[in-house]
Structure 1
Amino acid sequence: MHLSPDMVIYWQFGFVKINATIVFTWALMLLLTLGSVLITRNLSTKLYRSRRQNFLEIIVTGIEKQIEEVGLRHANKYLSFLGTLFLFLVTASIFTIIPGYEPPTASLSTTAALALCVFIAVPMFGIAEQGIGNYLKSYMAPTKIMLPFNIISELSRTLALAVRLFGNMMSGAMILGILLTITPFIFPIVMTALGLLTGMVQAYIFTILAAVYIAAATRSREPSELSTKANEYRSNEF
């Protein structure tokens, strides 16, 4: 039994290795790319829509709704990043029911890469929404003393994202491997179903946390509607 797909080596030449993490990561990306091309072909704007298009619209609408509920206005701006992130994690979990499949999310390198994508995306969206000056000022809010603490917060939450996803995915793979060794019949089926559910939940949590971080980076610096009404009320009193 191996703890990580990094330990499964398919080809090696010197220090260059092609392991299960690389193979299945690229296989998932290829599958998602081909799937998106096929499912978006011949889309219709008429009243009649194919089942394929209805399925696609349900997924896209559901993801957009979740993004908006987090607090991100204009969800379509963030759909490509957050939607792709969610679909990759979900697909990586669903395929665990296939014998011989090694989920790349059980590797720390993959989860660290996903967390790094969020780490880069947060300031990119923040700068695009507020401008580089206003975004950098947010690190010194409410006082300049908060600058080092805000920087540490950015780094620590990125590490937490990677460790959270890696720990949950790896633990499921380890438990399944142990049960396959001890009782290779009933329990592995139950744990596979449980691992599939856990993977779906982790994909949702990871994506929602990424959306929350982006929402915090893109929040408006203008006073809230409640504060504006309060100020108007005070001015009317005088």
Structure 2
Amino acid sequence: MIGPGLLIPIAFRIGPLAITQTVVVTWLLMLALVIFSWLATRRLRVTPGPLQVAVEGAVTAMDEAVRSVLPEQASQVLPFIATLWIFITAANLAGLIPGLASPTADLSTTTALAVLVFLSVHWFGIRSGGLRAYLRHYLQPSVFLFPFQIISEITRSVALAVRLFGNMMSLDMAALLILLVAGFLVPVPILMLHVIEALVQAYIFGMLALIYIAGAIQSRETTKDT
């Protein structure tokens, strides 16, 4: 059976509610990430093993990336941005597993992620400077620019969702065509490009989210100065 929209297969139904393959893969990914996180952190040692070294290196790299943009608020923003990076990376790479499709190749998933970023931008902005100061920055430098500020907020969120969806859908289609034409062994070097692009797309999405949040937080200082 085929779901509405962009022909997403329906895995099963719960009464009138259709559960698509994207939802099932997303649930499996979240479960796998929770189990991995528990296994990787349950026995932390002063002298780390290979797994702990890899995890600490990844967390350190993400922390440094966030601090390069928001040095003072990094501890507040890091959990959200790091979660985005980890989940999107796993979702992008899921398409390499035979029989699975990347959840990020489904527009509903990327739209949900973009909505989360949209809400988080306002949440961090209000949390940083208060509701009144945050709303005031929409009227700077002129009240006549307010409609354009709103349009900008909406369009960049739409672009965030469509960019990730378009790139991952094309990557999954290209990988599927290569496997169908050349088999499983010949295209291994080419499929490595899929891995690299999946990592790049996750990084870009997270960095854009970080930049949007930084803009919302720093708008408080701009409003104060004016």
Same structural fold, with TM-score higher than 0.5 when normalized by the shorter chain: yes
- Output the CA distance in 2 between the equivalents of 1:191 and 1:11: 34
Between 155-164 and 65-74, the greater mean CA deviation after superposition: 65-74
In the alignment, which residue of structure 1 is the partner of 2:215? 216
Report the TM-score, using the length of structure 1 for normalisation.
0.84
Greater gyration radius: 1
The sequence identity of aligned pairs, in percent, is 41
- Output the CA distance in 1 between the equivalents of 2:15 and 2:63: 46
Between 8-17 and 158-167, the greater mean CA deviation after superposition: 8-17
Q: Is the 8 A contact 1:86 1:203 kept in 2?
A: yes
Superposed counterparts of 1:17-96, under 5 Å:
17-44=18-45, 46=46, 48-96=47-95
Between 58-67 and 191-200, the greater mean CA deviation after superposition: 191-200
Residues 7 and 200 of structure 1: CA distance in aligned 2, closer, same or farther (over 3 Å): same
In the alignment, which residue of structure 2 is the partner of 1:234? none
Superposed counterparts of 1:1-238, under 5 Å:
7-12=8-13, 15-44=16-45, 46=46, 48-185=47-184, 188-219=187-218, 221-222=220-221
- Output the CA distance in 1 between the equivalents of 2:172 and 2:194: 8
SS at match of 1:197: helix
- Output the CA distance in 2 between the equivalents of 1:187 and 1:170: 22
Residues 6 and 104 of structure 1: CA distance in aligned 2, closer, same or farther (over 3 Å): farther
- The number of residues matched between the two structures is 220
Residues 72 and 166 of structure 1: CA distance in aligned 2, closer, same or farther (over 3 Å): farther
Report the TM-score, using the length of structure 2 for normalisation.
0.88
Residues 123 and 88 of structure 1: CA distance in aligned 2, closer, same or farther (over 3 Å): same
* Equivalent AA in structure 2 for residue 11 of structure 1: F
- Output the CA distance in 1 between the equivalents of 2:191 and 2:124: 37
- Output the CA distance in 1 between the equivalents of 2:182 and 2:48: 47
Q: Is the 8 A contact 2:128 2:220 kept in 1?
A: no
Shift of 1:6: 5.5
In the alignment, which residue of structure 2 is the partner of 1:233? none
In the alignment, which residue of structure 2 is the partner of 1:236? none
- Output the CA distance in 2 between the equivalents of 1:137 and 1:34: 44
Shift of 1:178: 2.6
Q: Is the 8 A contact 1:6 1:19 kept in 2?
A: no
Q: Is the 8 A contact 1:5 1:104 kept in 2?
A: no
